[in-house]
Structures are given as structure tokens and as C-alpha cells.
Amino acid sequence: PQGLVLLTSSVLAIATVRLARRKVLAQQLYCIETLARVDVLCLDKTGTITSGRMEVEGTYPLPIEGFGMGAGEGEAAVPVDTTVLDFALANVARATSADANETCQALLNYYADRPVEVSEPLSVIPFSSSKKWSGASFAQGSYVMGAAQFVLSDRAFAQVENRVAELADTCRVLVVARVDGFTPDGDMAGEAEPVGFVTIRDEIRTSAAETIGYFNEQGVTLNVISGDDPRTVSSIARVVGVPGADAYVDATTLDTPAKLDAAVDRYHVFGRVTPQQKRELVQALKRREHTVAMTGDGVNDVLALKEADCSVTMAAGSDAARNVAEIVLVDNDFASMPAVVAEGRRSINNLQRSASLFLTKTLFTMGLAALCIALPPYPFEPIQMTLINFFCIGAPGFVLGLEPNNARVKGAFLTNVLKRALPASLAVIMAAALDIFVARVFGFSQLTLSTMCLLTSCAASVSLIWRISQPLTPLRVALFVFVVAGILVGVIGFPELLSIANLSMGQMVILAVIVAFTCSVFFKLATMMDSLKPRRRHAATGFGRGVRVRLGRGGGKVSSTGSTAERFAMRVAADMAQRREARTVREAEARALEGVAQTQPKKKKSAGAKRSRVTKSAQGIKVSMPSKKKK
């Protein structure tokens, strides 16, 4: 099917151009199909549901001892007109501003016009997604800022847990605590003592609810995976309409692979998730044969983005996320996702229909070639295939391949194509065999035989075009009329050019009967094919993936799992080795059975005699000997 290569390349290239007009960059062509088949979409809250812009909602200091004074020997005092909480927040944010995230930027904006003394940092601990906090040491003491569960000890957290839960219902909550200092490895020294809280509000995208509603209507399962407090994530997920958002889980409690695997089936909102857990959640979903898409824009999302079948990021995200992702939303708007899904559906649904036309000719040509080895000659003239190629394959293939189509993608691509192409191919082969039989019985010429085969093949092709054009639209009706008219004009108007014979009345009657038989066989076979149910669902794999990412304290390591061909060869080699091992075991068992049987003495058969018995068991060979009675 030579034209199928051109058609596929053209359809995917046009899809890429259309997406570019919508400010969507497709970095891999195959991701267009994958996203059209996605049934689970994992969303990172920040930058996807929310715009990524944050603002400080309020600060809530706690009563502490030594207010306004140096808390330790040799330490400077916090200014009397400034709370310890404000001093710590403002100065930790300024100290870590070189690598400021959105949270730090919100604090910098909040304290930009507030009179808080600037203190020179003695040491700085930048924010880490694994630690969930940042900190700095000053002459006035050492302070950390981050998630309460990660900063405070169990005893200290139990004292403020109710207050944190109350504030976290609508906003992100950070605790500010005083520590004795920091170790050379960047860990906290001593037990953290909370001095207050700060709540930060995420700006929810105005289009988020509409986009979430679209995926709900399409039957796509939505999971929200975030490193923030699960209560905050759940609250935002409820606002935008994520189903099951009321039930959430704190990923810090999923400390074993079994717990994490079980949580996938129960929850749709995950909070306090580490980068490694994000990847493990995606892996658990893929083990359940889901086609998973992941959205994210930060470095902590890279592992999950690489593991997902289709990865989506924002142009404003980190360089690492953009390099890994297959789809980049240039305008940083999650509302572009429905357009991407629609474009993928149009491309794949149309390619499935058009590919069936190309493969029909390939299959019946192969079948007739095999048939004509036994019953020569080959019934078609080369020039006659031009009529089939243009009116039955080329023109309808490209028209159907580029028309609008937003139907949901169902089943595997090759299975869907063969279910349409096989009935037409079998009908053509059966009709050609009947034409050859009739031509030999009645002594028709080779030109008459080729004409009859051409017309019966066109009848099967037209029937296929009619079937794949359902439901009919004005464009499809016009295409069908064009195909039928083109075939008739070619047969009637250019008989010499196309090697068409003038048929007698009797030959035309016989041809009409064979054409009716061909169409009847096609529609019955097509109905049978449609009734077949697929044994297993399609799971997109993501061609070209072969990168393994490992993170450790000493840094990251990127290695290759090999190309697709290498991984296939490894699977084949492993399968062959397993078969050889099984065959060796069977041969060894057979030799053992023969050896045991030969060592048994031959005895005359008697009515009540008991014989030894050799059988297989889980441990290998089992020999049952008759018991001897004492005389």
C-alpha cells in the first residue's frame, strides 16, 4: 500500500500544523494518536488547574517565648516592631530569591512594601521537592519554611494539626519554625519550634472547570497529583468539578508499594506526592492497561512525564519538563487540551477508514496471486488497476482522511483496519475465482475475464466505501457519487485505454449475478467482523521511549533501555530461552521415566498383583512401589 505512507505522513503533518495554529507544539507525531486514546489523565495542580500565580492570603503568628528578643546566646534580637513570623518569612524569601519558585515570589511581593528589617543570611538551604522546605540562618537565628508534616516533629505537629487543617481547607499552608541551625548536609539541627503560619492562595484558571467538564463527558478518568497539602488539593479539585475529589490521600502514608498500588483504585486526589511516587502512580495505572496522560511543568514532574504514555507541559514550565514532554502548550493554557484530543481523534479515525481502502487492494492482490499460481493466468491487466487506484483508493482515501471527525477512538488501529479490509478482500477473491470458473466453462476470452474481474472488484470497493462512509454527510454523499460516476465514465468512455471488453447481453447478465453475489458476501462478512469483540483493550506504548532516569543523592543518571528493535529482540531471545529450558526439562523427565521403567524387574501378571507406578509430581519424578507382605 504505497499511498498509505504518503497519506499517514500528510494527515499527521496537517494535524501538527492545525495544532500549531492553536498554540500547541507537538514534539512527537505519534503523541497525537496516543492522546486521542487516553482514558486516564493525571493533572498536576500548580500550572494546570491553577495558573501558577500565587498571592499571600494572610499570616498567622503563634505566641512564643522571648518575643522581640534574641532567642539564644550571642544572637541578635528581632526588632520590637516586627513579629518573629514576619521577620522569618521576609528574610527566608529574600535569602532564597536566587532560585525563587512561585511561593517564594508571592512572599517577596507581599513583603516588598512592608517595613521588615533585612538581615544578611549566614547560610541558605534552598527549597527541595524531597524535603518540602527551605531555610536560612541569620544573626537573629535559624528559620525554616515549608509543609508542616515535613518540618515539625510528630509531637509538635500534633499540637498545631487542627489549626493547619482549618487553614488548609481553602489555601496552601506553610509553617514557619525556628531551629538550632543546619548540618553540613543541609538538614535541620534540633527540633523545630513553630512560630506561625502563612496561607497562600492559588489562582484557579477561568477555563479549568470547562476543560475538566469536557474530559468528564468523554469518559476520561481524572487524577490530581500534587506535592501540596491534600486538603488544599481536594478543595481546588472540588471547585473545578473533578469527580471523587472529596476522597483524598496523603502520599506520606503510602510508605509501601502495596499501599500505593491499592490507593490508585480508591482515590483520585493525591497530596504530598514525591517525584518518585508520581512515577510509581503512573506505572500502577499502566499496569492496569490504562492509556495514561500526565501534565506537569516542574522538575519534580519529569519522572512521571517520561513514564506516561503521553506527556503535556506548559511553555512557561521548566526546561527539563519541556524537553521530556511530547506536547507543549505554548500559550500556557490547559483549555487547549480538548482541541488536541479532537485533532487526534480526527487523524486516527480518518486514517483507520482510509487505510482499509489501501489494505483491501494489497490483500486481494496477494490472495489472487496465490490463487493464480494454481489457476493461471492472472485475471487483471495492469492498466485496469489505474481505475481502481484512483477512484476506489486514492481519491476517497485522501478525502476521508482529512474531513472533520470527533468520534471517540475505539479498539486497536490494525484490528479496526483489518476488520474493514478483510471482508472486501475476501469478497473480491471469491468473485475473481467465480469469474475464472465461469470464463473456463463458457470459454470467455482473457479480455472478457479481466473486464469481469475489474467490475466485480469495483463493486466490492464501492460497497466498502459506502460502509465506511456511515453515517452519511453531504461530503461523503458527494464522494460516493463521484466514485461511482468516475468508474462508469472510465468503463464506458475509455474502453480501449483501460482494456475493457464489449460484453454481450448474456455476459452482462452473468456479470450482474456475480456482482450481486460479491456485494452480498461483503456485507455478510462485514457484519460478522463487526460482531467480533476484541479480547483485550488497546494500550498505547509511545514509540521511541527507551530512557531510564534514576535520581540519587549524588545526582541524576540517564541511561538507555535500547531501541524498540533491541527490546523486541531481547523479548524474543528470552522467550526462545524459556522454551529451550522447558524442552530440556521435558526430555530429562522422559529419560528419567525410561530409566526407572527399565530398572523394574519383569514379573508375570497375576490377578491380584500390584505393580509399581511412575508418575510426575511437583518435585519431579514419583515412584510408587507395592508394599511387600511378610510371610
Show Cβ contacts of residue 524 under 8 Å, excluding neighbours closer than 6 positions: none
Identify which of 503, 519, 506, 489 has the alpha carbon closest to the alpha carbon of residue 387.
Answer: 489
For residue 501, CA distances in Å to 354, 392, 454, 492 come to: 31, 20, 11, 10
Please indicate whether residue 86 is annotated as part of the active site.
no
Cα gap 221→53, rounded to integer Å: 26
Instruction: Please give the grid coordinates belonging to residue 133.
Output: 522546605
Nearest to 144 by CA among 162, 126, 158: 126
Q: How far apart are CA 349 and CA 337, in angstroms?
A: 18
- Secondary structure letter of residue 299 according to DSSP: G
Tell me which amino acid residue 164 is. V
The grid coordinates listed for 181 are 541551625
Distance CA 492, CA 487 (A): 9
Question: According to the 3-state scheme, what is the secondary structure of 438-468?
Answer: HHHHHCCCHHHHHHHHHHHHHHHHHHHHHHH
Instruction: Please name the residue that has the C-alpha cell 492562595.
Output: 201
Pairing of strands 24-26, 327-329: antiparallel
HSE value, Cβ hemisphere, 13 Å, CA-based, for 539: 11
Choosing from 39, 44, 333, 435, the catalytic residue is 44
From the list 177, 82, 107, 75, the residue with the least C-alpha distance to 135 is 177
Task: Evaluate whether 226 touches 273 at the Cβ level (below 8 Å).
Answer: yes
Task: For residues 599 and 280, give the distance between their C-alpha atoms in angstroms, rounded to a whole number.
Answer: 57
Distance CA(24)–CA(234), nearest Å, equals 29
Please choose, from the candidates 425, 388, 431, the residue with its C-alpha nearest in 3D space to the C-alpha of residue 526.
Answer: 425
**In the beta sheet, which residues pair with residue 293?**
41, 310
Tell me the catalytic residues: 44
